[in-house]
Structure 1
């Protein structure tokens, strides 16, 4: 294998789950040239990865209109075909990734087991030994079908000295220099029913302070800023609020320093698990067996509802999905993980 293409475009958490594929490919084919196609939001997770030789940015907004498509397709295809690929791995499994894979023209085209939107007509679905298991292993099954050894599952997340220094300086300004213990609370999520209620976060924050652990709010975007403001208004002692103040790589460095990271089924929490930081994930509409914190599935706290793992973005019953997971239950899980 001389040239291998990986197509995993989004979302951030899904790209994090796919990172071990880059290591698996280079572990078996160290001289191969690995190209990865990704969308803008998740690109930082691939940058400086020593197992990825080239990153191609797929700017989907340019393809949304007929005119945009006609203007963008030729330069994108030329960029894609700089190399002749021996194999392509479609880890997205949707129409857009199938179109990219088709245009790349690899000799061997394989993809995940549960491809949709006609993607299975372009790449051969791989139903490996972990087809019903964690999504990380499902992606690795595609690498295994390429002949890759998977002797070690490694998440290559490379933080530059500049980002590490910026994160350390930010923590120091907030009084977290040295060995002071803190827990990072990832307060947001794209799906409304993946978010723990703000009043629960507030109650947990105060409990952490009473246990001599500093709570630190993390996240990004306008919605997370609103959630953080609501939490700050509901607490007795304000937590440290880093929402909107870090990029992804700086957040990774902060997670490496954290005693624990807690949040829903969302990209930053999967990042923490991939880094090996103790991670507690609160889960309702998604399945811990597939999407729980990789390597730490015992740390998934699933809501006690018969309808959990419904895979719906909004609850058809009008329930606040994760509200049934109490701050007491989460505090007990954190205590068990940290052996407090």
Structure 2
């Protein structure tokens, strides 16, 4: 039996996106054994994935140590892979690839390092089919196995068990969620404050949703962000109507809660990627330094929409570089004023989620 390895370090969103490679490899070569190399913090997103036969995990800090990197390199070389796909394309994965003895080594066309691989492909700057390069460019690495790019299945997937889904629903019911009303998860913060729509703006959106729609609202955040969540809540007039403790203690528990919900409205990031993999409707508010063309995945579908600074101030990007915006994002975030964003979200809730305004 032939064996393939996919190397995708980094976090949940990247690993989830790269899992599309495993699905398509299996469909192209059914008797292929597919292995996946990723951070131990991201492995749960791959649980029960029928397209992945083995996951090799590691601690991201430990792998930076030469002896640890060498240990994993020897382990991978001993597996005798026929195919190695390296979408991560960084120093560690290149070192592993170089010494892997894999017959076919596939990655992106980068100066000097392209000589480490047997097949390299240039990354596209603009998406073609599903409105995001983050998935489409990774799928370019499937080119040796697919003559027609349009036949590739680009949809990410998370494979939850019935038990996980049922347990989450029971937990939500016990916490007081009324499933006779739509359940909307509100991702009130990004991974950090500089990747989050301003807290005062998020409080204004929360008030608007509570005042205008008959829905359950569940706040999504990580426990370390509690102080910032409290700042949002201090400006919310009907805070007793918000569920702030239904978080899930793991990525999979959060995914199961999302599976039992109707939609996610959030800062663009990992939670949005999870929702899209579960085929749940999403509305994303983009960081000013990120772009739809890279992470606006599946916005060719009606159920996924977003808001970006280019929608109202496209000239900003002629006046400032992305590096400038990334270095000091706050002034640019402040331009995403509630009076610009909230009407678009209101339209989304009414016309995509089919939730009427209060009469």
Q: Structures share a fold, TM > 0.5?
A: yes
Distance 1:311 1:158 in 2: 37
| Contact 1:136-1:294 at 8 Å conserved across structures | no
Taking the aligned partners of 1:91 and 1:100, their CA distance within structure 2 comes to 13
Q: Distance in 1 between matches of 2:99 and 2:296?
A: 34
- CA drift of 1:161 comes to 3.7
In structure 2, what is the equivalent of residue 282 of structure 1? Answer: 285
1:197 matched to which residue of 2? 198
Name the residue aligned to 1:255. Answer: 258
Structure 1 residues 185-215: Cα deviation after superposition (integer angstroms, max 9, x where no partner): 1223235443112222222222222210121
- 1:167 and 1:246 in contact (8 A); partners too: no
- Structure 1 partner of 2:66: 69
Q: 1:294 deviation in Å? A: 2.4
Out of 117, 124, 127, the residue aligned to residue 122 of structure 2 is 127
The 3 A distance-change label for structure 1 pair 336 and 141 is same
TM-score normalised per structure 2? 0.82
Residue 307 of structure 1 corresponds to 316
Confirm or deny: 8 A CA contact 1:285 1:313 kept in the other structure: yes
Deviates more, 1:36-45 or 1:91-100: 91-100
Matches within 5 A, 1:148-187: 150-187=151-188
Q: Residue deviations 1:71-113, cap 9 Å, x none? A: x244323432342111111111211221222232211111135
2:217 alignment counterpart = 215
Check the 8 A contact 2:172/2:246 in 1, yes or no: no
Q: How far apart, in 1, do the equivalents of 2:209 and 2:21 lie?
A: 37
Contact map agreement 1:215 1:240 (CA 8 A) in 2:
yes
In the TM superposition, what is the alpha-carbon distance from 1:315 to its structure 2 partner? Answer: 4.1
- Which whole-Å CA distance do the structure 2 matches of 1:233 and 1:168 have between them? 29
Q: Please list every run of at least 4 consecutive aligned residues from structure 1 whose deviation after the TM superposition is greater than 4 angstroms.
A: 295-298
- Aligned partner of 2:101 in structure 1 is 105
RMSD: 2.7
Deviations 1:238-292 (A, max 9, x none): 2111465331112222222222111122111111122211111111211101211
TM-score normalised by structure 1 residue count = 0.87
Equivalent positions of 1:45-124 (< 5 A) are 45-64=45-64, 68-70=65-67, 72-112=68-108, 119-123=113-117, 124=119
Q: 2:85 & 2:147 partners in 1: Cα distance?
A: 12
How far apart, CA to CA, are the structure 1 residues paired with 2:60 and 2:99?
15
Q: Is the 8 A contact 1:184 1:262 kept in 2?
A: yes
- Establish whether residue 267 from structure 1 lines up as the match of residue 270 from structure 2: yes
> Partners in 2 of 1:263 and 1:179 — Cα distance?
23
Inter-partner Cα distance in structure 2 for 1:98 and 1:191 = 30
1:7 aligns with 2:7: yes
Is the CA contact 1:186–1:261 (under 8 Å) kept in the aligned structure 2?
Answer: yes
Gaps of 5+ in 1: none
- Assess, with a 3 A threshold, how the Cα gap between structure 1 residues 146 and 59 changes in structure 2: closer, same or farther: farther
Partner of 2:331: 319
